[in-house]
Structure 1
Amino acid sequence: MSKAAPVAVIDLGTHSALLLIAEKQAGNGFTVLKEDFKVTRLGAGIEKDEILLPQNQENTFKELREFKKEIEAFGCGQVTVLATEAMRRAANALTFLDALHKEFNWQVKVLTPEEEARFSYLGAISVYEDFTSKLFTVIDVGGGSTEITKGRGKEIERSRSFPVGVVRLAERFDYRERMVSFDIPTVQEILDAQFDEAELKKLTEDTFLVGTGGTITTAAAIHHGMETYDPNVINNTSLTLDQLLMMFEDLNARSLEERRQVKGLEAGREDVIIYGLMIYIHLMQRAGVWRIRISAGGLRHGFLLANV
């Protein structure tokens, strides 16, 4: 019997695109062959203009062509693009997706907020041993939205998507390089209004709080001073609220050029990282939780798990 061809999943987000190439395994699982990450800024400006700007579309297509080379090199038999908040919001999303399908002929799924939360949750918890019986609350802070999902193992009990992410928050402040003291109450008001129904205060002591997505994995990489991203190290990392607060203060005090020199901080995140950290800090303070575990598993991994 011939071996099945690898499959590829692309998470096409508001700020970045992430590629996963994997082989399906017998039973419910897969083996990762390749992962890649590109900053596209596809949804930059959407808060103001409500469309995908031409230069962002061009840059996204440029990066997707690089993904295509990797996909073809592995001989992938199926390619699925998962589109999220930017595609849900942009007035010209259909035009963009038509162009994408015409050039690449890839299957595209525009996920509902519920589907996005479900797949992010499944991907995030999958990196932990014996995850089937544990209680989890997973926070996925993306570019355009934040998903908070509670469950026991693979069984989801409650899931919510909130229309605030690192890009949308950064745009509210015109990508201000540094936040000053009088900005913080305004940020708190914005986040309080957005997360009013998050129900994080109901977390129990036996619940694993897990963070996934670019902000928190970047925070873990910075914590370790990573020069080469290693998901296995990320998956064995937890950060305290105090560590995130100190990281925010350190990065906020630096210029964009100085941030680019920080080991672990990927190029293209230097102007949004402080906004993502503020979201995580706010949610942890709201929950009264002092530590968060980090998962390199995410939307693309969860989609594969749900569809192998």
Structure 2
Amino acid sequence: MLKIDKYAAIDIGSNAIRLLIATVLEKEGYETQFKKTSLVRVPIRLGADVFLQENISQENYLRMVDAMHAFRLLMKNHKVVAYRACATSAMREAKNGKQIAKKLLDETEININIIDGNDEAAIIASTDLKDLISDNKVFLYVDVGGGSTELTVFANGKTVVSRSFQLGTVRIINDMVRESIWDEVRDWIKENTAQYEKVDCIGSGGNINSIYRYSGTKVGKPLSYFYMTNFFEKVKSYTYHERIFELQMNPDRADVIIPATRIYLSAMKWAKAKNMFVPKIGLADGIVKSLYNEKKAQELEVQ
């Protein structure tokens, strides 16, 4: 007998807020399947508020209220059995972040967990990467967001080390990143990958997904360092409006794509990686999987 449930994850990032609804399929004797059913993205750029003004503005708070009401209705319509909302860099750095979370709970009944960088990296690392991560390969996982970049080294099929850096696309376009942060990221990557003969990268985040779609690369095949370099030079040669009109990018993607590509390229260079795999998984996927695992653990306790 096939058991079908839906779970949801709300990812409140620095560049956008996302709702992922996933269908989980369970059949005795088979591996559980996770299928993305719906993904809604709202470009509320909280990072622009927080990194410049240190607070979430009233205007963006009201936009968040609308988004959460909409997400709640969508989850109700999909008959979601469990959900979790996690906020990352922007809300955890906002002076009024906790206050905003409480107001949103009162207004929309959606409880927001403000997680730190290590929790974020751990949730991302818990995503199902077994199709890529084998016992005899080494990967540097690079998740680029608006406010931070999470890095994880996988070796021998296991997580070796993770770290979060305040290096994000919204920070960069607002000139909020000191040069020493780049040095810290470079030193960390080199220190934690130098002992391995070969390292490949795994890219996560909306920007690398956008680059992957643009490349036309066959699903499962990686982006090469050569392609990433050429793409970087190409997008830099276009103006913001040309990237929107000629490259068909969304307005809130067309400005952050350049700093994002620079971060991915830099990570590849410092790890001496020739390839970047793009499995299209991230924080929201990790949230869904953790919710499912918690529910299964509770069922075992009851038994």
Query: What is the Cα deviation at residue 139 of structure 1?
Result: 0.6
Find the counterpart in structure 2 of residue 11 from structure 1.
11
Deviations 1:258-295 (A, max 9, x none): 11124563341111111111111222222222221112
Q: What CA RMSD, in Å, does the superposition of the two structures yield over aligned residues?
A: 2.8
Matched residue, 2:77: 73
Give the conservation status (yes or no) of the 8 Å contact 2:223–2:275.
yes
The alpha-carbon distance between structure 1 residues 152 and 207, as it changes in their structure 2 partners (threshold 3 A), is: same
Which among 121, 135, 140 is matched to residue 143 of structure 2? 140
The answer for the alignment partner of 2:267 in structure 1 is: 283
Residues in 2 aligned to 1:72 and 1:50: alpha-carbon distance in whole angstroms: 34
> Is the 8 Å Cα contact of residues 143 and 168 (structure 1) preserved in structure 2?
yes
Aligned counterpart, 2:35? 31
1:216 corresponds in structure 2 to 208
1:224-264 CA distance string (max 9 Å, x none)? 2xxxxxxxx78524222222222222212222211112456
| Whole-angstrom distance in 2 between the partners of 1:79 and 1:169 | 32
Does the CA contact (< 8 Å) of 2:203 and 2:279 recur in 1? yes
Question: 8 Å contact 2:10–2:86 — kept in the other structure?
Answer: yes
Q: SS at 2:42's partner residue?
A: strand
Q: Distance in 2 between matches of 1:71 and 1:267?
A: 27
TM-score (norm 2): 0.83
Q: Which amino acid aligns with 2:286?
A: G
Cα distance in 1 for residues equivalent to 2:213 and 2:195: 27
- The one-letter amino acid of 1:32's match is K
Q: For residues 39 and 164 of structure 1, do their structure 2 counterparts lie closer, same or farther at Cα, with a shift above 3 Å needed?
A: same
Which residue is 1:172 aligned to?
175
Q: Is the 8 A contact 2:83 2:291 kept in 1?
A: no
In structure 2, the CA distance between the partners of 1:190 and 1:253, relative to structure 1 (3 Å rule), is: farther
Gaps of 5+ in 2: 293-303
- Tell me, what secondary structure is at the counterpart of 1:82? strand
Partner of 2:166: 163
Percent of pairs with identical residues: 26
- Report runs of 4+ in structure 1 exceeding 6 Å deviation: none
Partner of 1:228: none
Is residue 2:44 matched to residue 1:52?
no
Q: Tell me, in whole angstroms, the C-alpha distance in 1 between the residues paired with 2:197 and 2:185.
A: 25
Q: Which residue does 1:245 correspond to in 2?
A: 229
Residue 181 of structure 2 is aligned to residue 196 of structure 1: no
Give the letter for the 1:23 counterpart.
T
User: 1:45·1:171 contact (CA, 8 Å) conserved in 2?
Assistant: no
Unaligned runs of 5+ in 1: 174-185, 225-232
The superposition leaves residues 91-139 of structure 1 with CA deviations (integer Å, 9 ceiling, x where unpaired) of 000111012212221232222212211221233x53x526463543211
Q: Which amino acid aligns with 2:201?
A: L
* Cα gap change, 1:96 to 1:307, in 2 (>3 Å): same
**Counterpart contact for 1:146–1:162, Cα < 8 Å:** yes
